Amino acid sequence: MTSSVPSIGDLRIEPGLPTLISPREPGSLSLDSAAGVLRDAIGACLERTGAVHLTGFGPPSVDGFEYFAASFGAPLVDYSFASTPRSRVHGAVYTSTEYPSHRAIPLHNEQSYTREWPLRIWFHCVTAARAGGETPIADSRAILRALDPALVERFARRELLYVRNFGQGVDLPWQRAFGTDDRASVQRVCDQRGIECEWREDTDGQWLLRTRERCQAVAVHPHTGELVWFNQAHLFHLSALDVPVQEALIETVGVENVPRNVFYGDGAPLESDALAQIRAVLDEKLIVFPWAEGDVLMLDNMLCAHARTPFAGPRKVVVAMARNHRASEAEHAAAAHAVRALASPISAAASVGAGA
């Protein structure tokens, strides 16, 4: 270990997506000893690249990881209004999504299905899978640029309506999603966040919850001013499920009670060809790199989406988040203006075509 305070010269920094940072001298630095200089190096590039991968900084440690993530100056946040099952490991550190190992988790920006989300997210590899189990990423700016501008304009203008049905034995119960079994507490959270709630009793006298929330499809980054594709339409839409699963759900609970679905903001259905294009672009922009035990991946959650590949063997990746953000009216206006500018060549071309 180095006896002096580490400096930027002690790091090997390889630009790219993700930017890769490692000790210049293998084995010379730990995450703890290098925390100060790593914060400086990450601060200089994260809001440009969107992702930083730290490797070679010693063995995995959940406590050390939590301390490192918290050292960036913002309190770590709880995983509230959850959409997938996770377990608290320690403090504000959670397991990554608990999902069958043979299934992939598509690209997404954390909590982009709601109006409030973390700006920072960290992943720490405690146990690397024997095969697969990577956490691929993609540039949310590049995703937006690759989509048809007419699709981007339509989604941005009409927004998205996420509908969730909790419980029924087929998805997260509302008690786990909200971290409480008190309906009044859930109602307060929903009221504060502008989420529409509907309670009903099932045949066993259990309370079921349906929520509706109208959200952004694109967003403007609050610091860089860049326009990003920022939603989970491709994940929440019923078509994200295999056809037999769709059919079984509809037969069991009815189409209006499926665990999750998404529509345009006015409740109109999303077009299947639009969803197909979105999924194709996400697949095209996927960047995959291997995990090593002890690695940390830090993302700007708006600039960079993440995913998970199928895996074999034990795998443990834990997560921490910070800096919850709710877009201001000025940011909404900036996003609308940017989208109109993006779509203006389409309007001009249509006008030329109409006059020809």
Rounded to an integer, what distance in angstroms lies between the CA atom of residue 336 and that of residue 342? 10
Which contiguous run of DSSP H or E holds residue 142? helix 140-146
Q: Which domains does the chain have, with CATH numbers?
A: 8-101+117-129+291-325 (3.60.130.10)
Contact 47, 224 (CB under 8 A): yes
Residue 337: predicted pLDDT: 87
- Strand duo 51-54 + 19-23: pairing: parallel
User: If we measure between CA atoms, which residue out of 322, 291, 307 comes closest to residue 235?
Assistant: 307
pLDDT of residue 345: 61
Give the contacts of 248 (CB within 8 A, at least 6 positions apart).
Answer: none
Can you give the pLDDT at residue 79?
81
SS3 80: coil
Residue 39 burial by Cβ neighbours in a 10 Å radius (0-12, 13-18, 19+): middle
Select from 137, 131, 127, 1 the least CA-distant residue to 57. 1
> Which residue bears the tokens 């210049």?
24
**pLDDT at position 352:** 44
pLDDT average per 10 residues of sequence, the chain (356 residues): 80 98 95 96 97 95 94 90 73 85 96 96 97 98 97 97 88 87 94 94 88 97 97 97 94 93 98 98 98 97 98 96 92 88 62 45
pLDDT at 169: 75
How far is residue 200's CA from residue 194's CA, in Å, rounded to a whole number? 19
For residue 196 the two structure tokens come to 């529409």
**What is this structure's pTM?**
0.92
- CA dihedral over 343, 112, 69, 297, signed as positive or negative: negative
Percent of the chain that is helix, strand, coil (3-state, to 5):
35, 30, 40
